[in-house]
Amino acid sequence: MNLQLLKPTYWTDYELIDSGEYEKLERFGKYTIRRPEPQAVWRKSLSELEWENTADATFKREKSKTSQDGNDKGTWIQKKGMPDQWFISYKYKEMNLKFRLGLTSFKHVGIFPEQAENWNFIYDTIKATKNAESKVLNLFAYTGGASIAAKSAGADVTHVDSVRQVITWSRENMEASGLDNIRWIVEDALKFCRREVKREKKYNGIILDPPAYGRGPDGEKWILEENIAELMALCSNLLEAKDSFLILNLYSMGFSAVIAENLIKDYFPNAKICQFGELIVPEKSGKHLPLSVYARFKQ
């Protein structure tokens, strides 16, 4: 298993300061936030007083308030001077991305920092391709980190997400990064892929980041265990046979990296240079926080 670590060389605007007892303390640019983390089952390295003094904003979960996708619902307690929104940057080689962050009611801030390893992979793969302009499809694309990484490398990007407000957020990130011309699609990912297969469309890169549970814009239900097989089958028809890549990222705690690898082997038997493992973030104490499992390949 090939574990991917975030490299401090590339992330200067993000840092995992401490984790434990089902929480994590993180720095995003100038501000430090404290929020729940279900996988941090160990003890904290810093004292409660140090956490309280360091955090500019703390997420307080509302009891019995959990969304259908498993995200906690709650409110943020902000210290004086802590804004609701702010920007951070990520640089890798000639890629210079900017993200607008915000304190949402579901503890998220608009970015998953561990995904920087996949952004680097996307950028390097597209830059090395023989195609004049790679066509990249980003499904369940959220606020668009992978989309703007692909666009930064020169790809023709189609960004699909079921939430219109998230698409608007993604557009802000694209514009802040000095980029343009990403194709925005507000639609259920399965429905979109079925239509693309009928149209015999092909892509040089596909990025999949499905949630454990979700809803499409017209109420379509997504359940990872029930729908992932059909989605992978559709993607096997959409991906070009040569000079292409695919990334599968899974946040469901019930799915292991071996499951991700097996899905790749099943639906893409000719995949080369396949990697799989966990995306993890190191903290100052030396511990590593696992945040997702992935499988990716080039062919």
Strand 72-78 to 57-66 pairing: antiparallel
Location of structure tokens 């507000």: 186
| Span 58-70, pLDDT tens digits | 999 887 544 444 5
Q: What is the pTM of this model?
A: 0.93
279: how many CB neighbours lie within 10 A of its CB?
Answer: 24
pLDDT at res. 257:
87
A 10 A CB-CB count for 93 gives: 12
Q: How far apart are CA 118 and CA 296, in angstroms?
A: 9
Mean pLDDT of all residues in the chain? 92
| DSSP 8-state secondary structure symbol assigned to residue 69 | T
Contact 31, 86 (CB under 8 A): yes
Least confident interval from 58-67, 102-111, 120-129, 207-216:
58-67
Q: Is the pLDDT of residue 180 over 50?
A: yes
3-state secondary structure of 294: strand
pLDDT tens digit string along 205-263? Answer: 999 999 988 888 888 898 899 999 999 999 999 999 999 999 999 987 778 888 999 99
Q: What is the pLDDT of residue 67?
A: 47
Query: Can you name the residues that pair with 5 across neighbouring β-strands?
Result: 280
Q: Domains (ranges, CATH) in the chain?
A: 11-86 (2.60.40.1180), 107-298 (3.40.50.150)
Structural contact between residues 7 and 30, judged by C-beta atoms closer than 8 angstroms = no
Radius of gyration from C-alpha coordinates of the chain: 19
Residue 213: what are its φ and ψ, rounded to 5°?
A: -150, 145
Q: How many CB atoms are located within 10 Å of the residue 212 CB?
A: 18
Average pLDDT for residues 100-117, to the nearest whole number?
95
The contacts of residue 51 (CB under 8 Å, 6+ apart) are 18, 23, 25, 34, 44
In this prediction, residues 125-133 reach a mean pLDDT of: 84
Q: Give the separation between CA 136 and CA 118, rounded to whole angstroms.
A: 14
Assign 152 a pLDDT band (cuts: 50, 70, 90).
very high
Phi (first) and psi of residue 89, to 5 degrees: -125, 155
CB count within 10 Å of CB 38 equals: 10
pLDDT at 2 over 60: no
Q: HSE-up of 130 (CA within 13 Å, CB side)?
A: 4
Residues of the chain with pLDDT > 90, as a percent, come to 76
Q: At residue 39, what are phi and psi to the nearest 5 degrees?
A: -90, -5
- pLDDT greater than 90 at residue 136: yes
> For the chain, give me the number of helices (H) and strands (E)?
7, 17
**Mean pLDDT, range 182-195, rounded to an integer:** 97
H/E element, 149 = helix 145-152
What average pLDDT does this structure show over 36-50? Answer: 96
**Confidence band, pLDDT 50/70/90 cuts, at residue 284:** confident
Q: What backbone phi and psi angles, to 5 degrees, belong to 196?
A: -65, -40
Could you tell me the pLDDT band of residue 133, with boundaries at 50, 70 and 90?
Answer: confident
What pLDDT digit, counting tens, does each position of 49-60 carry? Answer: 999 999 999 999
The confidence score (pLDDT) of residue 64 equals: 58
